Structure 1
């Protein structure tokens, strides 16, 4: 197609070249011909044609020149009518959530009026890509991206199909549909060279897998995946920035104190302004506040978090901040963060986080029945996708509540046992003081199992279990089962 446009320009048929440009510009951008496409725009007989200016703006943005894109977009929109090119340029380049949402609404209407010169498959992809980032209706975003995959396949647009599949995986991940997201990630074509769009997005597959690993409580796996994605000279947005956020949260969960200083620098490198509708500063502040808290700097944590409570549209960040404010003894501020999270529409894993936080708040206030009800709701939402991270905090209130819940009685007893086992393995791995077998036994001590039942569960002799229990008590400096669990959580 590039050659066809170049040929039309060389044969002095600019009208034909203009038709080809308008018909194919969106696909050429998505399929990473941005450098060649912009060069054709520059040599076009009327380089100040509003469509040409807008197409150049998109090319500039993908190349990392956001200022040049902004200026060209302004020139083009000043002259352009509200047509397909203007609509989908705005969809790609509108910076903040409000203008992005307005552009998406116009794009929905534009898709219903697509003509023969409009690239329907590419437009579907870009609209789905935008709706995921706006996070206003994951079900609709997922449906649009599924349509984009099908449409690209029908037209033989392999690269657009690959990108639509990748963003479908992202949409599923953000919605909390982890198992389905993993299936889509596994189906992505392998071995393709990194494209302009891949560099623009910044490593979608690894970021998605890292996010899933984090929320499932596999913090070591998450940190290992995400660390490889960090690029110091990155502009601090898109998937590379998402990797930075979840990498920092993973090392906080693992208490990797030797990495905290470097983690602070990583967070400072994340964009402080919105990009493609994503509130990066709010997300950055949530992770930075947690990092300050685990370093004993609660006043700094409060200062970092406070501006985030003036913004909306960041459900996950506000769910994380609700737990932070609870941990530093600010129940009122925790409630404010709760309300902001709920107003934005919570994905499943963020809902689990807020329910665990709510349960802990009720427990600390002496409202035991409400605490157990909220914890049961959290287990209910967490079971299908094995969302473990919110249960793994080393806060003794949550640890005691989980242990008591095993006696209280849960409809999700198997998953609760998995939580307690994972919690035991996680907390003692952090402490680094128990053997693998002792960690397994300690996880069982968190349940209602007797020593005989633990022996059967682990497939070892009863005297061996008793020996492990004595060793655990000795290493933790305690004399009872409850004290052992409490001490492990404090570690």
Structure 2
């Protein structure tokens, strides 16, 4: 590339020969079009993107598409300058370029890069001296014979409007095997991308990939001497969505400022530097009609074709929005919501600012139109946001009191966030308006702001002496309930839900039925988080029934999803699976409660998969549940404890402890004493897994001291710890009653039954062990439980094999369980073996290394010195050929030492 750059620097301007039939014309070649532009300022290092391009160019075609200012040219220019990557031909496309210009310049660039021409190579005719097809065939033949890949970079391909050029590029790409074509454009190029995509030979790099990361944003600021605290760097990236040009423009504005943080706080699209850029690069490219369309539709943060038509009075909203996306006009499709679009936040802010200044009356009128459209399409939260943004107080309160049941319990998602409240005296006189602002702030998850307006509303309602059952008082209480749920405060949720149930009349009016449905749903969720599963089940069943009568499908599905979790935990796997799948198949909810119910349904399916020993499926469902934004403490804690159990089943105790620590930092997962106890129980199980049985029992002791008799789940853990210690009599004494139908959740009964069989086997009573195991298998088979048997270790496998030999009514199923265990044992046996065996003491220390105890704690537990423990640890590392604790545990598992 260095030689080609030198050659191009000498060829400032040239005339390319043309065939005799076109004598008198000439095709100029500008060297400036054949090299990427040199950087005009220090560049932010972006090795992740260079690596992405390196990987991408192992395929024939790479397409980089993004609007103006996303760093396409800068990235490709820097990448192409690296001569280690092989010959690279560059061409910058400009407005007015046609097919002749493309091939003339590309020919010159390929020659300069050494990809064509030169001694001993087949010559390629000059583009205009032969027919286009002959030229392309000759060029494709030469490029196909290249011993190394030949890269062609076409920058700003959106300027090339000649359809013949696109067809010619496709032809060349199909027939030149060594060619690697990289194109950059603001719009998707008119190449046959569908064919390359289908064949897996296309790499697409978009605005999301090109966006600055937080680290890259910090680097850009540092290059201009701007020092911002980490939260403000993150805020700048969020405001700009990582738009590189926007970040660079803001860094220049911040240079020399005494307080650059305030510029981040006040950043909008009408900041002069950003406004000028968007004017020239985006708005100037639109027709007058399209510019007016942009202004009119900027009042809504989310756009649909039908909504755009309502705002503009036109009929082509869907077409124009799609065209804006295609042309890179700072418009994107909203992922997962077909037909919905949004503008880049800085672009939208610029448009709104100009609309408000140019025509305040039109600004308010358009917000009113948007509010009416959203209300008529079932998006009442968005309708409220629009009415408030347009400062139409009457419309805002009408929307709230007409749709309070949905606004409070299932907000539509991110709202406008910029609705300025009216003066305080207006709010004092109209508490209903204060309620509207509280509801709006809840929708944008501003709990502090919502609390302020709820206090104003409450004071106003008290002054007006509103009755407890009045609509305004009901809406106030329901909004209080929504705030308590958003703050993950189950105790407050339960108290407010009970108050609602007392206040509501026993009649069957729509209003009262809706209140009961909302209150029962919230009360059941709070009781789950408090550990009162019986009461929770009653309220959730009642809530689902009342929600059906009130035509509140979201509330019904919320109840059903939580019931599925409860039933899965109880061992009713088939029923839980069916209900969870029904919830997920229900029509998609546009509000946040959709995420809430999906998280619970995925958790139920994860529990079912775990108990059936489908750990890969369990992982997948847990990931889906964790990715849903929701505020249900019971679900958050359930996801954590189930993931801990999955890690434990795989004998990955380090990952299990990492999950446990993360859960204890999660405000929602530890919102109640019951949920904190669930995490403690999970830790006790992990302690037993790494041989620390004394610590496991110590963790449980405070809970045991608080009750007269150990609860069944704690009794099972105690029994497991005693059996691990080799005390089968203590294990048998500790076990709860499990054989009877009403003895507790089925999963717990199976664990207890299996422990009882193992204790009997260890006590040399094989007949009793066989009877107990047969009863356990009888309980497990109908629901498809496998986890207790397949993840129970070598002792359980041996017990099952003996039972198979002794005879069982479930011979085929037990054989399948035994074979599964044998396959795992065989896989473990294929692992490499140790050269030097570990001593018994070293094996004991190794078991401790699975946990989190320090060397001093291990020494105290074993009654030896710390130096002795350190010596054992060094010997373990040496014998396992590792250098660290985690590596030792991992290696030991490969060798089945753990």
* TM-score tier after normalising by the smaller chain length: 0.5 to 0.7
Please say if 1:215 is aligned against 2:590: no
Give how far 1:17 is off: 4.0
Cα shift at 1:383: 1.6
1:29 is the counterpart of 2:387: no
Distance 2:719 2:678 in 1: 14
TM-score (norm 1): 0.64
1:283 deviates by 1.6
- Specify the alignment match of 2:814 in structure 1: 416
Change (3 A) 1:212 1:136: same
Distance 1:41 1:151 in 2: 38
Larger Rg: 2
Question: 5+ unaligned residues in a row in structure 2: which ranges?
Answer: 1-379, 833-894
Shift of 1:228: 5.9
Q: Larger strand proportion, structure 1 or 2?
A: 2
Contact 2:434–2:456 under 8 Å retained in 1: no
Name the residue aligned to 1:398.
Answer: 796
Q: How big is each residue's C-alpha offset from its partner over 1:454-487, in whole Å with a ceiling of 9 and x where there is no partner?
A: xxxxxxxxxxxxxxxxxxxxxxxxxxxxxxxxxx
Deviation by residue 1:52-88 (Cα, 9 ceiling, x = unmatched) = 78995997699496x9999999999998997666599
Cα pair distance change 1:413/1:158, threshold 3 Å: same
Task: Report the alpha carbon displacement of residue 401 of structure 1 after superposing the two structures with TM.
Answer: 3.2
Name the counterpart of 1:438.
Answer: none
1:178 corresponds in structure 2 to 573
Superposed displacement of residue 209, structure 1: 1.9
2-side partners of 1:418 and 1:202: how far apart?
33
Measure the CA separation in 2 of the matches of 1:98 and 1:335.
37
SS in 1 for 2:534: coil
Q: Distance in 1 between matches of 2:793 and 2:450?
A: 47
**What is aligned with 1:382?**
780
Distance 2:752 2:580 in 1: 28
Q: CA offset at residue 385 of structure 1?
A: 1.0
Tell me the equivalent position of 2:880: none
Change in 2 beyond 3 A, CA 1:11/1:237: closer
Over 3 Å counting, the alpha-carbon distance change for 1:169 and 1:400 in structure 2 is same
Counterpart in the other structure of 2:218: none
Which string of whole-angstrom CA distances, capped at 9 and with x for unpartnered residues, describes residues 22-70 of structure 1?
A: 77544323212487699999768349979978995997699496x9999
1:214: how far off? 0.8
Instruction: Tell me what 1:325 maps to.
Output: 721
C-alpha separation between the residues in 2 aligned to 1:173 and 1:416?
Answer: 23
Following superposition, the deviation at residue 146 of structure 1 comes to 4.2
Q: Which residue of 1 aligns with 2:60?
A: none
Q: Residues 63 and 200 of structure 1 are in contact (CA less than 8 Å); yes or no, is this contact kept in structure 2?
A: no
> Would you say 1:113 and 2:509 are equivalent positions?
no
SS of 1:387's equivalent in the other structure is: coil
C-alpha distance in structure 2 between counterparts of 1:392 and 1:238, whole Å: 28
Partner in structure 2 of residue 288 of structure 1: 683
Larger RCO, structure (CA 8 Å, separation 6 or more): 1
Summarize deviations over 1:168-211 as a string: whole Å, max 9, x none: 43343233222233223333247847843355678233322211
User: How many Å apart are 1:386 and its aligned residue?
Assistant: 0.8
Secondary structure of 1:255's aligned partner: coil
- Superposed displacement of residue 279, structure 1: 1.8
Q: Deviations over 1:228-278 (max 9, x none)?
A: 6557x9999443432222222112211236645644543443559753x67
Residue 204 in structure 1 maps to residue 204 in structure 2: no
* CA deviation vs aligned residue, 1:129-173 (integer Å, no higher than 9, x gap): 445553125763563354256336xx3x45445434433433432
Contact 2:481/2:496, CA 8 A, preserved across alignment? yes
What SS does the corresponding residue of 1:241 show, helix, strand or coil? Answer: helix
Residue aligning to 2:427: 45
Task: Verify: 1:147 aligned to 2:540, yes or no.
Answer: no
Match of 1:352 in 2: 750
Distance in 2 of aligned mates of 1:131 and 1:377? 33
Q: 1:48 to 1:282 in 2, by over 3 A?
A: farther
Q: In structure 2, the residue corresponding to 1:217 is in which secondary structure?
A: coil
With structure 2 as the length reference, what TM-score do the two structures score? 0.38
Residues 386-420 of structure 1 show CA distances to partners (whole Å, capped at 9, x for unaligned) of: 11212234445433433333355544444433433
Deviation of residue 213 (structure 1)? Answer: 0.9
Residue 476 of structure 1 corresponds to: none
Residue 643 of structure 2 corresponds to 247
* Matched-pair contact (CA < 8 Å) for 1:382–1:388: yes
Q: Give the count of matched residue pairs.
A: 429
CA distance in 1, matches of 2:655, 2:699: 20
1:206/1:285 CA distance change after superposition, 3 Å: same
Change (3 A) 1:28 1:243: same
Whether the 8 Å CA contact 1:63–1:196 is kept in 2: the answer is no
Aligned counterparts of 1:413 and 1:373: Cα–Cα separation in 2 = 14
Per the TM alignment, residue 212 of structure 1 is displaced from its structure 2 partner at its CA by: 1.0
| Partner deviation per Cα, 1:326-380 (whole Å, 9 max, x = no partner) | 443377588668489x9x9732222222222233334434455554443333223
**Residues 1:140 and 1:359: Cα distance change in structure 2 (over 3 Å):** farther
CA contact (8 A) 2:434 2:454 kept: no
Report if the CA contact (8 A) 1:62-1:197 is conserved. no
Matched-pair contact (CA < 8 Å) for 2:547–2:553: no
Cα distance change on mapping 1:130 and 1:265 into 2, 3 Å: closer
Task: Name structure 1 gaps, 5 residues minimum.
Answer: 435-487
